[in-house]
Amino acid sequence: MQLVLEKRAERSTTIALVSPLIAIGLTLITMSILFAILGKNPISALGVYFIDPLTDSYSLQEIAVKATPLVMIAIGLSFCYLANAWNIGAEGQFLIGAVCGSWLAVKTHGTDAGYWVLPAMLLLGAIGGALYALIPAICKVRFGASEILTSLMLVYVADLLLDYLVRGPWRDPKGFNFPTTAEFDPVATVPILIEGGRLHLGAVITLLVVVAGAVLLGKTIKGFEIRVVGAAPRAARFGGFNSNQLILLTFAISGALAGMAGIIEVAGPVGHLQPGISPGYGFTAIIVAFLGRLNPVGILIAGLFLALTFIGGEQAQIAMKIPLDVTKVFQGILLFYVLACDSLILYRFRLISSSPKVSSGAA
Amino acid sequence: MSDPTPFRLDAGATPLLQTIGLTKRYGNFLANDAVDIDIWPQQIHALLGENGAGKSTLVKTIYGLIQPSDGEMRWQGEKMVLSGPSEARARGIGMVFQHFSLFDNLTVAENVALGLDGKESFKDMSARLERVSNQYGLPLDPRREVWQLSVGERQRIEIVRALMQNPKFLILDEPTAVLTPQEADQLFIVLERLKAEGRAILYISHKLEEVKRLCDTATILRGGKKVSTCNPKAETAASLARMMVGTEIKEVKAAAGRETTVPRLVVNDLNLEPDDPHGVRLKHISLELKGGEILGIAGVAGNGQDELFAALSGERLAQDPGTVIIDGIAAGHLSITQRRKLGAAFVPEERLGHGTAPRMKLSENALLTGHAASGMVHRGFVKLAAMLSTVDRATETFDVRKAKRDPEAASLSGGNLQKFIVGREILRDPAVLVVSQPTWGVDAGAAAVIRQALLDLAARGAAVLVTSQDLDELAEITDRIAVMFHGHLSEPLSTAQATREKLGLLMGGSSLEDREAPHAVSA
């Protein structure tokens, strides 16, 4: 008997839905082994990671807060990936969006500016992120530079720019020399949804982005163009769709969403601009996008799940002294399994009996 | 190493190669179902069948590329199990594939060396290559690089490479598909000679006239099963076709009294640089195509047909708007979408990946070309109902067979997908239809439907431009035929006057005037 990988006639919708679950299952098994090696009880470790955060309202809110930027960034990334444009630099676009929006908050700090400040900040964040994302896109279209490398490298540029600003020109004079801007004014802060909680308006905006993303992809000709360019570039050209234009468009959209997520994070949960505003949201969002099947609703679910790993990881560190980096290991293993399981959508395993064994004496 | 020398075999009781109940199963699908075939020395044996009949599977099994699921093969009466093509070659089985496996940037000798087992020095091998190629009238310069050679010359490399191993049995997969009629004639002389030397040849082809002329025996496959083994010389092309298809093929009929109207597609002195280094430059191409007319473009593949299609469709733009005129409007600078809005429609050669996105549904593939002008898009939103209705109408009008209402394009068979693609364009009632290889790799039944659809479209007043390598197809449906060679397009001949001989000369790059002039030098 022999196990072969066989191409399916048509992609399997069932597997497309089930594959992320298989991937999660395999990840949990691998993690259990890892916990056992670390000398922790796998069952209680997984419990702390995945069950405990779901049992109190503080953690539940915290999951939604963490999922907000993840989902918003991942929706944008999914457009890029569907169009075969590989934006790896959402982290940088997130930071630049935060910087651009914060500029207005810093400039209006202490003035009696009205309620227009926050919407204007969000707009600036989106524009900043989009323009920053267009740098690798233009290099790709104009010079053929690999967008994977350029977008990734620009993450570090953004990181250093933010660092410079909060240590230099934008530093809070009353901030005891800490590298941070002054706390944003109330009109420059994202409102809280539940009194006393942490859940903020950004979660609502993210839900609107999910709906808009689903409509754009499924119901509009632009969404169709994005999908065709990625799935069959030559057919897309025959259809009259310009792939370069779509690379620019998808990078701009994903940059705008990452930038907006950045400024919402700064003007919301953080409250001021400082280094380390992102625990790698821009990179984790790549996993969210793929785990969610590059589908807006899938991304919403995947974003909540990945947010759970952040919260669970923090609790496991406190409760079981498991290093926080294990969360990153977990996310990496998960992406690996998701991509591996995806081959089952187009292929299937089949057990076949090997060709009849005959003695070669006949020759 | 010895030169291929004639050898004798007692052509008495045992066949050279015999397959007994040979079966190949893919899942539940039987690609070959208990096929028995006997190959005798000193015979040219035709293997006939439509696409998907199992011809390729059978020869790949015989050449050791595929392991059979059941049944056995006997070589000179003894049981043979092949674990790979090198074992087949060691026994004396050679194969020339339809798609050449040559490295463009290597020389002829280097390419041949790569296919041999390499015990002799490169110098000896080169000398032997030259000797073998001259001996069989297949002249080749071992030092030329492959990219400089014509398709016919490339095929010679493949044949000589096979002959250098002195095969007892040679398999040729559709060798004349890429040749001009004259080149094909030369190939037949070589094959007759190989036969006279006592070798056996298995000859796969679609071209029934060719098989009748060349082959001694024919085995016909249909749906993986052997239908019959017969003497093709005693059959008619129609009776062979009937065995291949299983039913009578509907004859394609041109509507009587088709009248030509005003020019609907005009090309004026079109010149275009290729966008890739091995492409063909289009030189001074001019043509005029009236409504109600079908113009055929013949030519060996790779002489600029793809480039011409790209220039006509607008996948590549010309500098000067006046070089392409669609229905009286200069369109050389317009995109493919804008040209579609002018009433033009296009069907490319490659069905999967060019004409359709393989992993997308038919409705989405209807949108692919229909978004320009079929009411499928309203204010940026797509209308699924309109897309599905196009799929349904194409299904009904052109008898597209599929498992469900809206499957993925890749799940359809070649013929059914081509009917869908042609149908999708024809349902838009185009003023101009540019179609490339309309029936390439399509079963005979579907081919007849498609050809009839093109004739009917012209009868309704459209101008139809058909590029095809199948001269029979062009003879059947066109009014005039022009030939492409090295990026030039010849003056069109009226189809009635376009004999195979004349077309063959043009396809080989000679001009008719030279040949007819008294001082012409003989080739």
User: For the segment A346-363, what is each residue's pLDDT rounded down to a tens digit?
Assistant: 777 777 654 444 433 333
Q: How far apart are CA B249 and CA B449, in angstroms?
A: 10
Mean pLDDT of chain B: 86
Q: Is the pLDDT of residue B152 over 90?
A: no
Higher pLDDT, B512 or B174: B174
B356 at the A interface (CB within 8 A)? Answer: yes
Q: What is the pLDDT of residue B257?
A: 61
Q: What is the pLDDT of residue A353?
A: 58
The model's pLDDT over B460-501, given as tens digits with 9 standing for 90+, comes to: 999 999 999 888 889 999 999 999 998 999 999 999 898 888
Q: Which residues of B touch A363 (CB under 8 A)?
A: 78, 80-81
Q: What is the pLDDT of residue B12?
A: 54
Q: Is the pLDDT of residue B413 over 90?
A: no
Q: List per-residue pLDDT tens for chain A, 363 residues long.
A: 667 777 776 667 777 788 888 888 999 999 999 889 988 888 988 888 888 889 888 889 999 999 999 999 999 999 999 999 999 999 999 999 999 999 999 999 888 888 899 999 999 999 999 999 999 999 999 999 999 999 999 999 999 999 999 998 999 888 888 889 989 999 999 999 888 888 999 999 999 999 999 999 999 999 999 999 999 999 999 999 999 999 999 999 999 999 999 999 999 989 999 998 998 999 999 999 998 989 999 999 999 999 998 888 888 888 888 888 888 888 889 888 888 887 777 777 777 654 444 433 333
Which of B115-119, B365-369, B498-502 shows the lowest mean pLDDT across its residues? B115-119
3-state SS track over A96-124: HHHHHHHHHHHHCCCCCCCCCHHHHHHHH
Q: What is the pLDDT of residue A163?
A: 94
User: What's the distance, Cα to Cα, between the start and end of chain B in Å?
Assistant: 35
Phi-psi region of B487 (alpha: psi -120 to 50; beta: other; left: phi over 0): left
Bridge partners of residue B44, in order along the sequence? B201
Residue whose C-alpha is closest to residue B221's, from B15, B39, B444, B37? B37
Q: What is the pLDDT of residue A363?
A: 33
- Evaluate the CA torsion angle B238, B239, B244, B248 in order and state its sign: positive
Say yes or no for a CB contact (<8 Å) between A240 and B353.
no
Q: What is the pLDDT of residue B252?
A: 72
B71 at the A interface (CB within 8 A)? Answer: no
Q: Which of A350, A356, A362 sits opposite B80 (nearest CB)?
A: A362
Q: Which of A10, A228, A240 sits opposite B357 (nearest CB)?
A: A228
Residue whose C-alpha is closest to residue B471's, from B296, B214, B290, B226? B296
Q: How far apart are CA B118 and CA B481, in angstroms?
A: 47
Q: How far apart are CA A173 and CA A181, in angstroms?
A: 8
Considering only residues 86 to 105 of chain B, which have any Cβ-Cβ distance to chain A shorter than 8 Å? none
Q: Percentage of chain B surpassing pLDDT 70?
A: 93
Q: Is the pLDDT of residue B346 over 70?
A: yes
Q: How far apart are CA B423 and CA B457, in angstroms?
A: 11
Mention every residue, 6+ apart, whose C-beta is less than 8 A from residue A308.
A49, A50, A53, A54, A63
Say yes or no for a CB contact (<8 Å) between B371 and A224.
yes
Q: Is the pLDDT of residue B7 over 50?
A: no
Q: How far apart are CA A200 and CA A192, in angstroms?
A: 4
Nearest CA in chain B to A354: B69
Q: Where are the domains of chain A?
A: 1-40+323-363, 68-321
CB-defined contacts A:B, below 8 A: 87
A220 at the B interface (CB within 8 A)? Answer: yes
Indicate the pTM of the whole model.
0.80
Residue whose C-alpha is closest to residue B289's, from B270, B321, B262, B309? B262
Residue whose C-alpha is closest to residue B186's, from B159, B146, B161? B159
Q: What are phi and psi of A241, to 5 degrees?
A: -100, 135
Q: What are phi and psi of B235, to 5 degrees?
A: -105, 165
Tokens at residue B12, please? 């008495």
Query: Contact A356/B25 with Cβ under 8 angstroms?
Result: no
Q: Which residues of A touch B358 (CB under 8 A)?
A: 232
CA distances from B488 to B170, B247, B461 (A): 36, 41, 28
Q: What is the pLDDT of residue B438?
A: 92
A6 at the B interface (CB within 8 A)? Answer: yes
Angle, alpha carbons B403-B453-B263 (nearest 5°) = 140
Q: Please compute the mean of the pLDDT values over residues B147-175 and round it to a whole number.
A: 87
Long-range contacts of A134-141 (CB under 8 A, 24+ apart): A134/A248, A134/A251, A134/A252, A134/A255, A136/A87, A136/A89, A136/A251, A137/A85, A137/A247, A137/A248, A137/A251, A137/A252, A138/A248, A140/A85, A140/A247, A141/A244, A141/A247, A141/A248
Q: Is the pLDDT of residue B367 over 60?
A: yes
b/e B465-492 (16+ beta carbons within 10 angstroms → b): bbbbbbbebbbbbbbbbbbbbebbbbeb
Say yes or no for a CB contact (<8 Å) between A240 and B381.
no
In eight-state DSSP terms, residue B137 is T
The model's pLDDT over B36-49, given as tens digits with 9 standing for 90+, comes to: 999 999 999 999 88
Q: How far is B393 from chain A (nearest CA, A)?
A: 20
Q: Is the pLDDT of residue B312 over 70?
A: yes
Q: Is the pLDDT of residue B10 over 60?
A: no
Q: What is the pLDDT of residue B9?
A: 45
- The SS3 of residue B15 is coil
Q: How far apart are CA A209 and CA B421, in angstroms?
A: 36
The model's pLDDT over B494-520, given as tens digits with 9 standing for 90+, comes to: 998 988 888 888 888 877 665 444 443
Q: How far apart are CA A102 and CA A124, in angstroms?
A: 9
Highest mean predicted confidence (pLDDT) among A188-202, B333-347, B400-414: B333-347
Q: How far apart are CA B95 and CA B9, in angstroms?
A: 21
B340 at the A interface (CB within 8 A)? Answer: yes
A363 at the B interface (CB within 8 A)? Answer: yes
3-state SS track over B183-214: HHHHHHHHHHHHHHCCCEEEEECCCHHHHHHH
Q: How far apart are CA B116 and CA B90, in angstroms?
A: 11
Q: What is the largest CA-CA distance in chain B?
A: 78
Q: Which helix (H) or strand (E) holds B458?
A: helix B444-459
Mention every residue, 6+ apart, whose C-beta is less than 8 A from residue A197.
A61
Nearest CA in chain B to A227: B360
Q: What is the pLDDT of residue A10?
A: 67
Q: Which residues of A touch B367 (CB under 8 A)?
A: 221, 224
B411 at the A interface (CB within 8 A)? Answer: yes
Q: Which of B65, B91, B359, B363 is most worth mutating to test chain A (most A CB atoms within 10 A of its CB)?
A: B359
Q: How far is A9 from chain B (nearest CA, A)?
A: 6
Q: Report the 10 Å Cβ neighbour count for A205.
A: 17
Q: Is the pLDDT of residue B149 over 70?
A: yes
Q: How far is A220 from chain B (nearest CA, A)?
A: 4
Q: Report the 10 Å Cβ neighbour count for A121.
A: 29
Nearest CA in chain A to B381: A220
Q: What is the pLDDT of residue A9?
A: 64
State the CATH architecture for A68-321. Answer: Orthogonal Bundle (1.10)
Strand order in the sheet with B282-290: B282-290, B263-272, B324-326, B329-330
Q: How far is B451 from chain A (nearest CA, A)?
A: 23
Q: Report the 10 Å Cβ neighbour count for A241.
A: 24
A7 at the B interface (CB within 8 A)? Answer: no
Q: How far apart are CA B98 and CA B177, in angstroms?
A: 8
Give chain B's count of helices (H) and strands (E): 17, 23
Angle, alpha carbons B56-B57-B59 (nearest 5°) = 65
Q: What is the pLDDT of residue B14?
A: 84
